[in-house]
Amino acid sequence: MSVRPKIGESVIDNETIAKLFDETADLLEITSSDRANPFRVRAYRNGARSVRSLSQQLASSIRDANFNLTDIPGIGKDLAGKILAILETGHFSLLDDLRRQVPASTRDLLNVPNIGPKRARVLQHDLHIHSLDALYAAASEHKLSACKGFGPTSEQKILAGLAHIQLTSGRMLVSEAKALAAAVTKHMKSKAAVPGLGDLVIAGSYRRCKETIGDLDLVVTCSNAKPVMDRLATFDSGSMILGRGETKMAIRLKSGRQIDLRVVPERSLGAALIYFTGSKAHNIVLRKIAADRGLKLNEYGLYKNDEWIAGSTEHQVYRALGLAWIPPELREATGEIELAATNRLPHLIESCDIFGDLHLHTNVTDGRGSLAEMVVAAQRRHYKFIAITDHSRRVTMANGLDETRLRRHWHAIDQMQQKVSDIVLLKGIEIDILEGGKLDLSKGVFAEADWVVGAIHYGQRQSRMQMTKRIVNAMRTGLLNAIAHPTGRLIGQRPPYELDLEEVFRVASDCHCALEINGQPTRLDLGEAALNLAAKYPVRFVVNSDAHAPEELAFMDFAVAQARRGGLEKHRVLNACALTELRSILKYTSSRAQSA
């Protein structure tokens, strides 16, 4: 595109653009107008995914005269024009028109897990349900069962979904939070922006790597707080200052997101980070420990009477309290303080421990990068191995592979391997687990595979007993190396399946089948509660990006953060193994496949 919008200091991020495209696709389906053809709907959904996966913010890229929006896979001239309009004005005419047609209360229905555009349209037209309150009342009074496509199970899931919304409303996905954190950090640290600016740390739930993030909490060291606050006030031209004091400030951005700032002296940085990182429950225990020792702990330091004795670093504060330093991801008052008191904290896995990514897709199915592009992206991350795991035939929406196409794809991987010597390419498949627990392809194909990941994409409304039996039966075939996104949740969209997780963990351990921690920001599956439960079992894990484009290999960082919140050490993670150890595991599984 040759025309550049006058976006100035716009902080409209990629996630905002993607959400507007997703909303457009949803509303096109709800309105059932002539425009709602499946190709147009799909174009907006693909465009949303492409924008969401970009590593560079479009608000910055667009200022480069050599940058063309239409070079982005899935973005044609029409969507490129919409992106320019969003960056300049925050909206575009088609979406404005659709919003006028569909009331805001009806649009809220789309936020409920298990309710997509088609179901929302049925609720709207057949039951005259136009709000979440009306939906809750109808589901509670069992009125949905009278409508085609709904039943008692649907009503239960909808009620659970409404409760899920209550928990996640107003919070950001980790990808959105990361983009906002990067933007505000760059703004605050731009050359000569704030004289004397020292450390700047994003604290709060962001630093604890929570699955969703509320406000961003900035902790900054500087001898003079005024220029720091003045600079933050210019971050977003449409922001509102909610409050400003001598050393603290809160602003609400045009997007509705809130940023809280606290400026502290250098000697208080450690104490402030502990205080503003949280969690609240963790800090309550720390303050009690301090009180038991005749000390006082607050955001400025650790004091004995009025004498400051610690606070410049977190390590200093924890040490003064008789504790080992506790990684932020563990600070939830779930036993970590007791472990720190006896030097029994786990040595958490780190991103540098990961030797390869074992869940990648290409444009042979629903990915947006070619095999060559995905290999290059993996080489840039210095991986020693990767597994290409495109979908099997059942996933028709992703152009899944039958056995003929799969073998042709594997042949292409073998040919690519001959061209690269610094990385091992494993021939894999993400194979669908059918409703009864059987696998989507015949047994003969498994002996030819290097890596097999089982997954569920259909029949997700089965009962707890059915879903558990389905996964257990699949693992007991001895043909699977891992189960991908094991509970099927989509954060803010779909709760986890009904599953007996303890039975799944027991069988996974017995069958030497790893469980995935999926780094897609909408998944982060296994979730935190499931990982805590898994600690009792000798099950192993695989930490993956589930990348569908080269940029999405960076989602590995989210997967590692999730693993850290679950207290995982690298010896429990398969792709933190050296290639020789991984090969021995694959050899064992391959022998089972050949004898199956």
d(CA 142, CA 151) in angstroms, rounded, equals: 8
Side-chain half-sphere CA neighbours of 226 within 13 A: 0
Question: Per-residue confidence at 591, pLDDT binned at 50, 70, 90?
Answer: low
- Residues ≥6 apart with Cβ < 8 Å to 24: 44, 94, 95, 98
- In eight-state DSSP terms, residue 17 is H
d(CA 551, CA 50) in angstroms, rounded, equals: 9
Contact 434, 440 (CB under 8 A): yes
Pick 14-168's CATH classification: 3.40.50.720, 1.10.3720.10, 2.70.98.70, 1.10.150.110: 1.10.150.110
Domain boundaries defined on the chain: 14-168, 172-264, 274-345, 354-595
Query: Which range is least confidently modeled, 104-118, 306-320, 347-361, 403-417?
Result: 104-118
- Residues ≥6 apart with Cβ < 8 Å to 243: 249, 250
Read off the pLDDT of residues 165-197 as tens digits, 9 standing for 90 and up. 665 567 889 999 999 999 999 999 987 778 889
Read off the pLDDT of residues 286-314 as tens digits, 9 standing for 90 and up. 999 999 999 999 999 999 998 999 999 99
Read off the pLDDT of residues 209-234 as tens digits, 9 standing for 90 and up. 999 998 999 999 999 999 999 999 99
Cα dist. 111→86, 174, 219 in Å? 22, 18, 33
List Cβ<8 Å contacts ≥24 apart for 116-119: 116/26, 116/29, 117/25, 117/26, 117/27, 117/29, 117/30, 118/29, 119/149, 119/150
Q: Tell me, what's the pLDDT at 168?
A: 58
Question: Per-residue confidence at 50, pLDDT binned at 50, 70, 90?
Answer: confident
Q: Tell me, what's the pLDDT at 7?
A: 46
Contact 364, 401 (CB under 8 A): yes
d(CA 177, CA 195) in angstroms, rounded, equals: 27
Sign of the four-CA dihedral 138, 142, 147, 150:
positive
**Higher-confidence residue: 462 or 468?**
468
d(CA 537, CA 429) in angstroms, rounded, equals: 27
Query: Which range is least confidently modeled, 91-105, 108-122, 341-355?
Result: 108-122
Kindly tell me if the per-residue pLDDT of 207 is higher than 80.
yes
**Helix (H, G, I), strand (E, B), or coil: what is residue 528?**
helix
Kindly tell me if the per-residue pLDDT of 5 is higher than 50.
no
Read off the pLDDT of residues 383-419 as tens digits, 9 standing for 90 and up. 999 999 999 998 887 889 999 999 999 999 999 999 9
Q: Tell me, what's the pLDDT at 492?
A: 76
Q: Tell me, what's the pLDDT at 31?
A: 78
Question: Per-residue confidence at 98, pLDDT binned at 50, 70, 90?
Answer: confident
d(CA 300, CA 365) in angstroms, rounded, equals: 54
Mean pLDDT of the chain: 88
* Domain 354-595 CATH superfamily: Metal-dependent hydrolases (3.20.20.140)
Max Cα–Cα distance, the chain, nearest Å: 76
Residues 511-527: what's their mean pLDDT? 95
Q: Tell me, what's the pLDDT at 453?
A: 97
**Higher-confidence residue: 508 or 106?**
508
Sign of the four-CA dihedral 32, 156, 517, 438:
negative
Residue with tokens 């303080």: 337
Residue percentage of the chain with pLDDT more than 90? 59
Q: Are strands 482-483 and 514-518 parallel, antiparallel or unpaired?
A: parallel
Q: Tell me, what's the pLDDT at 9?
A: 47
Q: CA geometry: angle at 544 spanning 540 and 549, to 5°?
A: 165
Q: How far is Cα of residue 522 from the mean position of the Cα atoms in its chain?
A: 4
Question: Structure tokens of 285?
Answer: 């225990």
- Residues ≥6 apart with Cβ < 8 Å to 363: 369, 370
* Domain 274-345 CATH superfamily: DNA polymerase, thumb domain (3.30.210.10)
Q: Which CATH architecture has domain 172-264?
A: 2-Layer Sandwich (3.30)
**Higher-confidence residue: 161 or 451?**
451
Residues constituting the chain? 596
Read off the pLDDT of residues 482-500 as tens digits, 9 standing for 90 and up. 999 999 998 877 788 889 9
**Helix (H, G, I), strand (E, B), or coil: what is residue 343?**
coil
d(CA 72, CA 66) in angstroms, rounded, equals: 13
Q: Tell me, what's the pLDDT at 434?
A: 94
- Residues ≥6 apart with Cβ < 8 Å to 239: 233, 251, 252, 253, 254
Question: Per-residue confidence at 592, pLDDT binned at 50, 70, 90?
Answer: low
Residue with tokens 């509705």: 256
